[in-house]
């Protein structure tokens, strides 16, 4: 089934503690201008809701009484747990996903419907504007990039095709070099990269990092490095990637690095 235009409107974390969720919230507010919306505590999940103007960001800590199958679906925290789509034809899509035999993490009747997508990362969907209504605040720096890191080239190829065919993402460039595979996709708002790197293929399939595009690249990298974060790339190189407070990766690039792919 071809989907037409479909937007990724949700990104959810699984963080190791409430303090880590708070630390990531503070970092996203301070360096990227993201907005804090509210705190929810239900089903054993503590969630700080934020937005960048496009995404409903959920900084979640799964407590010991959270549903364990869902809590561990993406591996052990800290990690980016899932992405989410707002859809217009929710009933049809629900039937399609249930019939497809993909592994489900939500209870029957629960909305959003959470499942393991081909390639192995977790995704969910809900009827429009489930996520979008939390994301209508303008912020200075919207998230421009999400990257999946999958454990094989085959998984990356299959996952890319799935997001194109089923979720209507637009296929842009496929880049292959020294065994690395990157397929650039876009939903019109963000650059969505499905990647495989032979020197980083241990562990479960991951939503590897988010990315921001900035006008003051050198200055911002310096200020962030001054806070003592662990770097994943060499300072001065593009992209600049580091482990943010709470333990997940953020990437920064000078404009229009990601915009060109959107
Ligand atoms: Fe979610």
Together in a domain, 128 and 16: yes
Ligand 1 mean position, distance from CA 46 (Å): 12
CA of 11 relative to ligand 1 center, distance in Å: 7
pLDDT digits (tens, 9 = 90+) for 191-226: 999 999 999 989 999 999 999 999 999 999 999 999
Q: How far is the CA of 30 from the centre of ligand 1 (A)?
A: 24
Q: What is the mean pLDDT of the chain?
A: 95
Going from the Cα of 223 to the center of ligand 1, the distance in angstroms, rounded, reads 31
Q: Both tokens of residue 34?
A: 């993201």
The answer as to whether 2 is a domain residue is: no
In degrees, rounded to 5, the angle at the alpha carbon of residue 20 between the alpha carbons of residues 14 and 26 is 110
Q: How far is the CA of 159 from the centre of ligand 1 (A)?
A: 20
Tokens of 95: 């039937």
Say if residue 235 is in the same domain as residue 200: yes
Question: Distance between CA 70 and CA 97 in Å, rounded?
Answer: 17
62: CA distance to ligand 1 center in Å?
Answer: 12
Q: Mark whether 151 and 124 lie in a shared domain.
A: no
Domain-embedded: residue 1: no
Which residues neighbour ligand 1 (ion) by CB within 5 Å? 12
- CA 216 to ligand 1 centroid distance, Å: 32
| 104 CA to centre of ligand 1 in angstroms | 13
Tell me which DSSP letter residue 128 carries. T
Q: Tell me which residue of 211, 186, 184 sits closest to 195, measured CA to CA.
A: 184
200 and 226, same structural domain?
yes
Q: Which CATH number is 196's domain given?
A: 3.10.180.10
How many angstroms separate the alpha carbon of residue 178 from the centre of ligand 1?
35
12 and 121 both lie in a single domain: yes
pLDDT given at position 5: 59
Distance of CA 259 to the CA centre of its chain: 17
Do strands 122-127 and 56-62 pair parallel, antiparallel, or not at all (unpaired)? unpaired
What separation in Å is there between the alpha carbon of 218 and the centre of ligand 1? 33
> Does residue 148 share a domain with residue 256?
yes
Give the Å distances, CA to CA, from 174 to 8, 158, 193.
20, 13, 10
pLDDT in tens, 82-93: 999 999 999 999
Ligand 1 geometric centre to CA of 111 (Å):
10
Q: Tokens in use for 164?
A: 């194109």
Find the 58 Cα to ligand 1 centroid distance in Å. Answer: 7
C-alpha 10 – ligand 1 centre gap (Å): 7
2 band by pLDDT with thresholds 50, 70 and 90: very low
Q: Are residues 153 and 94 in the same domain?
A: no
Q: Looking at the structure, do residues 112 and 162 belong to the same domain, yes or no?
A: no
Distance 120 CA to ligand 1 centre (A): 16
User: What is the span of the domain harbouring residue 113?
Assistant: 7-134
Q: What's the pLDDT score for residue 136? A: 81
Which of 108, 134, 160 terminates a domain? The answer is 134
Task: Indicate if 163 and 237 belong to the same structural domain.
Answer: yes
Ligand 1 center to 217 CA (angstroms): 31
Distance 199 CA to ligand 1 centre (A): 30
pLDDT in tens, 138-193: 889 999 999 999 999 999 999 999 999 999 999 999 999 999 999 999 999 999 99
Q: Are residues 93 and 151 in the same domain?
A: no
Q: Tell how far the Cα of 131 is from the centroid of ligand 1, in angstroms.
A: 9
């Amino acid at each position: 089934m071809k989907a037409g235009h479909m937007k990724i409107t949700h990104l959810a974390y699984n963080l190791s503690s409430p303090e880590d969720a708070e630390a990531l919230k503070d970092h996203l507010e301070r360096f990227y201008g993201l907005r804090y919306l509210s705190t929810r505590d239900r089903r054993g999940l503590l969630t700080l809701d934020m937005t960048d103007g496009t995404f409903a960001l959920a900084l979640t800590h799964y407590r010991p009484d959270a549903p364990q199958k869902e809590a561990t679906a993406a591996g052990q925290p800290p990690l980016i747990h899932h992405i989410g789509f707002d859809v217009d034809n929710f009933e049809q899509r629900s039937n399609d996903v249930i019939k497809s035999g993909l592994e489900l993490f939500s209870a029957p009747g629960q909305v959003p419907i959470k499942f393991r997508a081909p390639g192995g990362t977790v995704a969910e969907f809900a009827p429009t504007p489930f996520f979008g209504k939390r994301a209508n605040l303008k912020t200075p720096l919207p998230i421009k990039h999400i990257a999946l890191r999958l454990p094989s080239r085959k998984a990356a190829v299959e996952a890319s095709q799935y997001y194109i065919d089923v979720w209507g993402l637009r296929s842009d460039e496929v880049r292959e070099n020294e065994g690395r595979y990157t397929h650039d996709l876009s939903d019109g708002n963000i650059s969505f990269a499905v990647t495989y790197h032979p020197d980083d293929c241990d562990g479960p399939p991951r939503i590897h990092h988010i990315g921001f595009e900035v006008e003051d690249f050198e200055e911002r990298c310096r200020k962030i490095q001054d806070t003592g974060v662990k770097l994943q790339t060499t300072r001065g190189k593009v992209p600049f990637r580091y482990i943010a407070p709470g333990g997940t990766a953020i990437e920064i690039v000078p404009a229009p690095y990601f915009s060109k792919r959107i």
